[in-house]
Amino acid sequence: MPYYMYVSLQDDDKILVLTMDARTGKLTPKGEVPVTGGPSPLAISPDQKALYVGHRNVSGISSFRIGPDTGELTQNGTVSPEAAPTFLSTDRSGRYLLSSYYQGAHAAVHPIGDDGAIGGPPIEWLETAIGAHAMQTDPSNQFAFVPHIDNRGGPNAIFQFKFDPNTGHLTPNSPPRVGQPTGTGPRHFCFHPSRDILYFSNEQGSSVTGYNFDPANGTLSSFQTISTLPAGYQETNTCSQIQISPSGKFLYAPNRGHNSIAGFSVDASSGQLTAIGHVSTEDRPSAFSLDVEGNFLFAAGSETDRLASYRANGETGELTPLEIYSVGKRPMWVLMTNLGG
């Protein structure tokens, strides 16, 4: 089956399309798509037929049809929200596009057409607070979370919502937010593939926090916070994205400053994390991704314009460096998919 990668190049105003060899992890460029306005966050529909792109330098979101045999992108929709989005995701049904707005201090829900196109006014345009950095629904598609970092006045909290999958509307849950110790800064998060657990990367805290998820009430309670940095490191650092392997055995979080990928093993019963080490990577790894089977990891250096690749050991979680690719100016998102898989 075709394995594809999409890389948004914010300062080149384009998206790079590549294929990946499933045996070796080798990438081959297949084309590029002009996208004005500084393309940054990316999201893909559950049926893998549509790609969504947030524009960093203008207030816009665009949708593209994905060619199932070629991976090529054809624009089929656009909207202009009141601010530039920082993060995009679809709900679990693919009927709605969720977005968060760091500078815009909002969270939003837009309708998606039957053809995957985005268009029309938002169903929700909710004021939350500055620092809104991500937004996703849980596996049941009944709850949503919006973390806000601890920076420039951000509330350093995770906002909890009830999500109506029939209408796309959001209502504050009870409690409406989960606070953090000062200097934590929850930024991005991922769901454990088989347990009621979420993991958040903490931008200011250079750490990962694990939360138990109550699937009946849609609320979070923390059970562990663990550093992404080696002992004794004192220089400036922030965390960016976070991802767990499809097996649920390993979790990875990049460090911007230490310029490394931190790896953790995941206890199968408790979800507790144990550090397994660091691997050096490109300068300012704001974006990274495992492939869909968890065999390879790719990290983009937003200051070097290069993409570093690694083989991920399925038994130990260790990352072994492979090739480094020049991709273009300021890569800000790496999205992997297996079209038709």
Confidence (pLDDT) at 310: 98
Q: Domains of the chain: which residue ranges?
A: 35-148+150-184, 185-280
What pLDDT digit, counting tens, does each position of 279-322 carry?
999 999 999 999 999 999 999 999 999 999 999 999 999 999 99
Report angle CA 191, 195, 200 to the nearest 5 degrees. 30
Confidence (pLDDT) at 36: 97
Confidence (pLDDT) at 1: 67
**Residue 212 φ then ψ, to 5°:** -75, 140
* Residue ranges in the chain modelled with pLDDT below 50: none
What pLDDT digit, counting tens, does each position of 242-257 carry?
999 999 999 999 999 9
Q: Which 3-state string (H, E, C) describes 4-57?
A: EEEEEECCCCEEEEEEECCCCCCEEEEEEEECCCCEEEEEECCCCCEEEEEECC
From first CA to last CA, the distance across the chain in angstroms is: 6
DSSP 93-104: TSSEEEEEETTT
The separation between CA 64 and the C-alpha centre of its own chain, rounded to angstroms, equals 19
Instruction: Say yes or no: do domains 35-148+150-184 and 185-280 share a fold.
Output: no
Strand arrangement of the beta sheet that strand 207-214 belongs to = 186-191, 197-202, 207-214, 219-227
Q: Are strands 39-44 and 87-90 parallel, antiparallel or unpaired?
A: unpaired
Across 102-246, where does the E strand assignment appear? 106-111, 124-127, 136-137, 143-148, 157-163, 170-179, 186-191, 197-202, 207-214, 219-227, 238-239, 243-244
* Beta-bridge mates of residue 98: 89, 109
To which CATH superfamily is domain 35-148+150-184 assigned?
YVTN repeat-like/Quinoprotein amine dehydrogenase (2.130.10.10)
Task: Tell the residue number behind the tokens 């081959």, with chain if given.
Answer: 28
Confidence (pLDDT) at 341: 57
**Residue 204 φ then ψ, to 5°:** -75, -30
User: Which is nearest to 294 in space by CA: 249, 238, 242, 257?
Assistant: 249
To which CATH superfamily is domain 185-280 assigned?
TolB, C-terminal domain (2.120.10.30)
Task: Tell the residue number behind the tokens 């297949």, with chain if given.
Answer: 30
pTM equals 0.98
Confidence (pLDDT) at 152: 87
